[in-house]
């Protein structure tokens, strides 16, 4: 007869080896079932973001709008009229001295 302690250790080892695999496969099957569910189909049919994107209602910001500092009031360049941060010594557009 196998000692009880050895059987317990083998049982724990088998559980530790097989449990993560079984849990991952269960999660995978759950995700596949959710992907094929009616909620996902309804969301795909009522996808307002894709509709707004295709009609052009979303205007992408320009690079200058994104990089413009929000806290500084900025100074005007005397050469090109571009707005620059107060601490800037040179214009970001024409590289002229401010």
Domain map of the chain by residue range? Answer: 1-59, 60-98
Reported as type and span, the H/E element at residue 17 is: helix 4-35
Rounded Cα gap, residues 47 and 49, in angstroms:
6
Alpha carbon of 25 to those of 17, 31, 67, 90: distances in Å? Answer: 14, 10, 45, 60
What's the whole-model pTM score?
0.38
- Please give the backbone phi and psi of residue 76, each rounded to the nearest 5 degrees, phi first: -85, 140
Kindly report, residue by residue over 25-79, the tens digit of the pLDDT: 999 999 988 888 887 777 777 766 665 556 666 667 777 777 766 554 457 888 8
pLDDT above 90 for 11? yes
pLDDT above 60 for 23? yes
Rounded Cα gap, residues 22 and 16, in angstroms:
11
């Amino acid at each position: 007869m196998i000692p009880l302690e050895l059987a317990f250790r083998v049982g724990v080892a088998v559980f530790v080896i097989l449990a993560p695999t079984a849990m991952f496969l269960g999660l995978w099957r759950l995700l596949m079932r959710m992907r094929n569910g009616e909620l996902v189909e309804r969301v795909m049919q009522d996808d307002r973001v894709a509709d707004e994107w295709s009609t052009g209602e979303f205007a992408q910001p320009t690079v200058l709008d994104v990089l413009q500092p929000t806290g500084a009031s900025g100074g005007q360049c005397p050469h090109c009229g571009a707005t620059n941060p107060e601490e800037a010594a040179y214009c970001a557009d024409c590289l002229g001295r401010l």
